[in-house]
Amino acid sequence: MVGIEIFMMLTIHVFNNVRICKMSYCEVTMVSATGSMNSRKTEVDDSQFLNQSLRDSIERSLDGNISKFDVMEESGLLGNCRTRSDKATFGEIFRSLLLYILDSFNIYRHDVSDKLVRYFHVTPESVNADKKTWVATTGINSQITIEQTGSNKFTVTERCRENNGNSNQLKNNTRVRIFSGRNVEEFIQLLSQHDKLEREQFSELTIAANALKKELVSNYITGNNVYKTQAEYPLTNALQKQTQLIPDDFLYQSAITKLSVDKGEFGSLLGDAKRQVGEGSSHISCCGVKINRTIHELLKEKTSALAERQDAHKINLDELFNDIIFTPAQCDLVRKSLEDEHVDKAKIASIVSCLSSVSGISNLYYACSQAFHVAHDGKDINVSQAGSSLYSIISDNPIFCALGGRMNLLFADFSEYAFKQTYHVVKAVVNEAKSDFDIANFIYTTSGELPEKDTYKKYTYKKYNYKEDTYKKDTNYEYSAESYSSADFEDNYWMPEKYNDIITKNFSGNITIAIIK
């Protein structure tokens, strides 16, 4: 069956404060697909469409400015200036426009220069100085620096790394020009206004990302092969201070209703928990309440001891986790500490119940696992291909290894029967020409929840009897760490063969890519 639908799109263009509205129509032909071959084709086509959607979003974000500058050329705002050839990069266009504006005393326009000013950021060293320095990063291999030398004077220095003639060798090129006069004075005022806007309205995360981008490109141009950049710590620190885990404005988001984890990806389950709990940099909550110092110290001791067990790989997860559940005495310590902090009584009861159960402890380990963001990447072809572009840049230019994911932050929440993990990983999105990039926050959200009790086989394990303060066998316990295992995990060496037939629990989640700027 073939059907036709008409979609109406309203485009609003803003030109010199006049809104011009255009109505356009898009005709879409829909064909119903039957049979396995047609269904498969539709699935592939959908995947290709989604992949194209992410790629287009990246191109619009990075190269969309070129089209804006084209509009300025065609509108007459720039007089007879022709800023680019068809193959010009954004950096070349930016430089042409900037120099043209500074040279053209009679047609200087704020509506043009404003579009350039936002790319410049004052350097930390000069932020409080009388004479400031601003840097605009205009591509992977190009930067423009403005050094103020007076109230109406500055020096413009363009630095880039480009091919040396017809050879494949790269060389560093530096072009310097000195400007003065009314145009320069007005441009300095615009730069100063933008500095104030950044301080008052831009987030600490945005400022830190701009600083990192500047440092990485500077190192690349100068050939300064440093492994650790100075701007990484401020960016990681800014991640820590986030109050909104998922931003409202993002480049891309995928939803994964069924997440399979390949064999071996849980091989570091014990080590992940030890590191995330022990380092203290992760935000870990139990039943929605951030763990306090008492809980943290106890969990730090327990996860460290379990990770160091030499026989851990020979024992099933339930038995391992059962060895570190909180004892009655430890539960009393936790209860007292939470009461001192005026936590709600019902919430205290949930936290104590969680920490003294195998299922609760297992959810802590899953909430701290790094297996999920790897599985997410493999599940979403869009993110996989975006990652391939990034890693090809890093492979060619190791200076950019800071964007390979080593800056990350975990937000974890676990309860007796569920967990949620939000994992922030700082990477980059790269345009198709690999000439420009933006620093981005890849946010992986994963949830795991135990289904109805009657879907599980019962597992016998030791549990504390709080009234008698002794161990007893609880043959009716139906929730366990092994409840999360499935056929997908059967080759995982933490999962003994005799428990491979326990019914699967499906994880779900999404990936959100948000450019930090």
Q: Are residues 157 and 259 in the same domain?
A: no
Q: What is the pLDDT of residue 458?
A: 35
> Measuring CA to CA, which residue among 207, 196, 204, 190 is closest to residue 115?
190
Q: Are residues 420 and 283 in the same domain?
A: yes
Q: Is residue 346 part of a domain?
A: yes
Q: Is residue 502 part of a domain?
A: yes
Q: What is the pLDDT of residue 517?
A: 78
Distance, in Å, from the CA atom of 429 to the CA atom of 415, rounded to the nearest integer, reads 35
Cβ neighbours of residue 90 under 8 Å, at least 6 residues apart? 62, 63, 65, 66, 138, 139, 435, 436
CA atoms within 13 A on the CB side of 429: 25
Our CA angle for 474, 479, 483, nearest 5°, is: 130
- Residue 464 near residue 497, CB atoms below 8 Å: no
Q: Which domain holds residue 193?
A: 90-240
Q: Are residues 194 and 306 in the same domain?
A: no
Q: Are residues 231 and 297 in the same domain?
A: no
Q: Are residues 162 and 301 in the same domain?
A: no
Distance, in Å, from the CA atom of 113 to the CA atom of 138, rounded to the nearest integer, reads 15
Q: Is residue 60 part of a domain?
A: no
Q: What is the pLDDT of residue 52?
A: 57
- Cα dist from 502 to 417, 448, 505, whole Å: 17, 16, 9
Distance, in Å, from the CA atom of 366 to the CA atom of 372, rounded to the nearest integer, reads 9
Q: Are residues 231 and 262 in the same domain?
A: no
- Residue 8 near residue 29, CB atoms below 8 Å: no
Tell me how crowded residue 368 is: count the other CB atoms within 10 A of its CB.
26
Q: Are residues 201 and 321 in the same domain?
A: no
Q: Is residue 23 part of a domain?
A: no
Q: Is residue 53 part of a domain?
A: no
Distance, in Å, from the CA atom of 439 to the CA atom of 515, rounded to the nearest integer, reads 6
Report pTM.
Answer: 0.76
Are β-strands 153-163 and 289-290 bridged in parallel, bridged antiparallel, or unpaired? unpaired
What the block records as the tokens of 435 is 């000439």
> Measuring CA to CA, which residue among 277, 274, 265 is closest to residue 485?
265
Last-in-domain residue among 202, 218, 240: 240
Q: Is residue 221 part of a domain?
A: yes
Q: Are residues 217 and 272 in the same domain?
A: no
> Measuring CA to CA, which residue among 304, 299, 270, 301 is closest to residue 494?
270
Q: What is the pLDDT of residue 28?
A: 28
Q: Are residues 222 and 341 in the same domain?
A: no
Q: Are residues 98 and 175 in the same domain?
A: yes
Q: Are residues 278 and 204 in the same domain?
A: no
Q: Is residue 82 part of a domain?
A: no
Q: What are the E-state strand segments in 233-309?
A: 252-259, 283-286, 289-290
CA dihedral 499, 412, 245, 382 (to 10 degrees): -30
Q: What is the pLDDT of residue 376?
A: 86
Q: What is the pLDDT of residue 67?
A: 55
Q: Give the helix, strand, coil percentages of the chain, each rounded to 5.
A: 45, 25, 30
Last-in-domain residue among 182, 210, 240: 240
Say how many domains are in the chain. 2
Q: Is residue 188 part of a domain?
A: yes
Q: What is the pLDDT of residue 414?
A: 97
Rg (CA), the chain: 28
Query: Could you say which residues of the chain have pLDDT below 70?
Result: 1-52, 61-87, 105-112, 163-170, 262-264, 451-506
258 burial class (0-12, 13-18, 19+ CB within 10 angstroms)? Answer: exposed
Q: Are residues 236 and 256 in the same domain?
A: no
